[in-house]
Copies of this chain bind each other. A is one copy, B any other.
Amino acid sequence: MPRRPEIEAGRAALSRDRIIGAAIDLIEREGEATLSMRRIATELGVAVMSLYNHVPNKDALLDGVAERIIGGMEVGEVGPVGVRGEGVHWTERARALIRAYRKVAHDYPRCVTLVLTRKIDAPSGMRPVEHALALAEDAGFDGETSVRIMRALLAYAIGAQMREVGAAKLLDYLPKAAAERFDRLDPAEFPHVVSFQDQLMRHDPETDFEFGLDLMISALDALPRRQG
């Protein structure tokens, strides 16, 4: 049995997985801006260069973070097996899929931008795509339309998160500062923004999200297709 001083000391062995985990923790705790290889290393009680035995560079590490978070998405039931139309209705499956994106934003609020920004090379990144295609086809759409539907659904899912993050930054979580920003606006140039100020400042992501989701789903449901 080989000597494993790091285990004797109660520390787990270094690994790609642990490094990615530490990166996620750090981002959630302190933000992406301050994440550095050196910071991760000290967090793991290890020399910086040890990280490079498990990860080729920082860029690949960030890809790994995105991959891990997307891979952990609970994308919902794969849907009816066997007879078409059996099981959960496709509109409900679409809702579940898009809500899974929302859950990511909820569970990893400070990682969302990173996740939605990075390319995801690994197969697990394709699971939401597969899921969307499956439900569109089950709904009776042909291949070409299914691909377009998948793209439109993902666009909304992604954009809703991004817009929300952006709005949150703007509203600053400081109502005072946000209100001042509105006061600086010229009412002649921004009549609607000014007069709808109250609604605009109300932060109700859940309802907003479901409103847009309903729009997408109802539009899809009204689309002509091979069978109902």
Contact = CB atoms under 8 A, between A and B. Distances in A.
Interface of A: 113, 116-121, 123, 126-127, 129-130, 133-134, 137, 143-144, 146-148, 151-152, 154-160, 162-163, 166-167, 169-170, 181, 184-186, 189-193, 195-196, 199-200, 207-208, 211-212, 215-216, 218-220, 222-223
Given A134-B192, A148-B207, A158-B159, 16 more contacts: A113-B117, A116-B166, A117-B117, A117-B162, A119-B170, A121-B170, A123-B186, A126-B193, A127-B190, A144-B199, A147-B200, A151-B211, A152-B156, A152-B211, A159-B160, A219-B219
B130 A211 contact: no
Contacts of A151: 163, 167, 208, 211-212
Contacts of A121: 170, 181
Chain A residues touching B, majority SS: helix
Contacts of A215: 152, 215-216, 219-220, 223
14 contacts: A116-B166, A118-B166, A119-B166, A129-B200, A133-B192, A147-B196, A147-B199, A148-B207, A155-B162, A156-B156, A157-B159, A158-B162, A215-B215, A216-B216
